[in-house]
């Protein structure tokens, strides 16, 4: 991952994580954060694996800044469920790269976050 590393103490909150990133990416991170937060209002927020994480009994979904994209990490099963909607994005086993030079797919992020929350409730 091309994520920034921290000298000293890593951020303890999602807001602190966003504030620690490059200024030009912070607005995009805030938009991803707000989209997921609106979809998962009952989830707790924390930093896990050095990434902003939404949690409810287990990790639901993470996101993180990289140099050229924002990574969305909904897990491997979500990748299978949403495969047809991810054809425009670079993906790997449990991650989606949202390029910084393209508009963010807010509806897709919301849909994936809702799915992650629903799957956890089973």
pLDDT at 15 over 50: yes
Q: Note the pTM of the prediction, 2 decimals.
A: 0.91
Label residue 7 by pLDDT band (50, 70, 90): low
Residues 6+ apart with CB under 8 A from 64: 1, 3, 50, 51, 52, 70, 71, 73
Burial of 114 (0-12, 13-18, 19+ CB in 10 A): middle
What SS3 state is found at 57?
Answer: coil
Q: Which residue has the higher pLDDT, 121 or 115?
A: 115
* pLDDT single digits (tens) 40-72: 999 999 999 899 999 999 999 999 999 999 999
Q: How many CB atoms lie within 10 A of CB 18?
A: 20
Domains by residue range for the chain, with CATH: 14-121 (3.90.1150.200)
Residues 6+ apart with CB under 8 A from 47: 10, 11, 12, 13, 14, 17, 53
């Amino acid at each position: 991952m091309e994520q920034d590393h921290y000298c000293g103490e890593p951020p303890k909150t999602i807001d602190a994580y966003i504030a620690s990133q490059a200024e030009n990416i912070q607005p995009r991170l805030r938009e991803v954060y707000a989209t997921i937060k609106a979809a998962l209002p009952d989830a707790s927020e924390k930093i896990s694996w050095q990434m902003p994480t939404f949690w409810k009994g287990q990790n639901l979904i993470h996101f993180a800044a990289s140099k050229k994209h924002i990574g969305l990490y909904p897990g491997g099963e979500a990748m299978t469920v949403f495969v047809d909607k991810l054809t425009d994005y670079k993906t790997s086993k449990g991650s989606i790269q949202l390029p910084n030079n393209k508009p963010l797919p807010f509806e897709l992020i919301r849909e994936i976050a809702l799915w992650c929350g629903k799957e956890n409730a089973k």
